[in-house]
Amino acid sequence: MVEHAPKPGWTDVEHWLTETVVKPGPEHERALQTAVERGMPAIEVQPTAGKLLHLLVRMSQARRVLEIGTLAGYSTIWMAQALPDDGHLDTLEYLPEHAEIARANVAAAGLDNRVEVHVGTALETLPTLEGPYDFVFIDADKQNNTNYLQWAVRLGRPGTVVVLDNAVWEGALLDPEVDETNTPGIIAALELLGEPPFDATVVQTVGSKGWDGFALAVVR
């Protein structure tokens, strides 16, 4: 009996796309590696999503970017590389030890002149920032998603692009018992995105991060 090799899965396809199309650089690999070495949770975006953020920043011609949720700076690096030489990215990180790692990774990528890592509770840092931002990426605690979206409007302008990560969360939208802690915040955020001043959609994704997705919106 001939044994057939198992069919490729989502993660196999993701790896192929990463190597063939995305082609991350050593600065991206360094950010991932330092996160592993320092015992940080493996919750950064996958390479295909990092490159998507990069392209969205470029296509929107953003000059000022706000990121809520830094971790090791992986997505930070992708987005900062898409900025013009005089562009700026503010990224907000709750834990000082994570911020330290992110700063080192950003500096190693040669982007510390474009990036400022702010340490502390995001809801305490956001009122200290000055807009308008052209692009906002939200990837932090889900319970405050609606607060972060409201700040994206306050610190944005008509035309500001907003990306909200983890918008599907293993289908928890239709089965909140999957995660009773995070699901209410995700659902509330999506309901907010369905109303003015946002014009939004949600794209489902599969891959190394499981079944998830992201919301993509523009402030009207």
What are the domain boundaries of the chain? 24-38+45-219
**166, two tokens:** 């983890």
Separation CA 194–CA 89 (nearest Å): 27
- Whole-number pLDDT of residue 132: 98
Which pTM does this prediction carry?
0.95
**22, two tokens:** 């995305």
| Helices 47-59 & 10-17 angle (0-180, nearest 10) | 50
DSSP 8-state code for residue 4: P
pLDDT < 70 stretches in the chain: 1-4
- Whole-number pLDDT of residue 49: 97
- Whole-number pLDDT of residue 178: 86
Q: Which amino acid is at 140?
A: A
- Whole-number pLDDT of residue 114: 98
- Whole-number pLDDT of residue 42: 86
Sign of the dihedral through C-alpha 191, 136, 51, 73:
negative
CATH for the 24-38+45-219 domain, from 3.40.50.150, 3.40.50.300, 3.40.50.12640, 3.30.465.10: 3.40.50.150
Within a 10 A sphere around the Cβ of 66, how many other Cβ atoms?
28
- Whole-number pLDDT of residue 214: 98
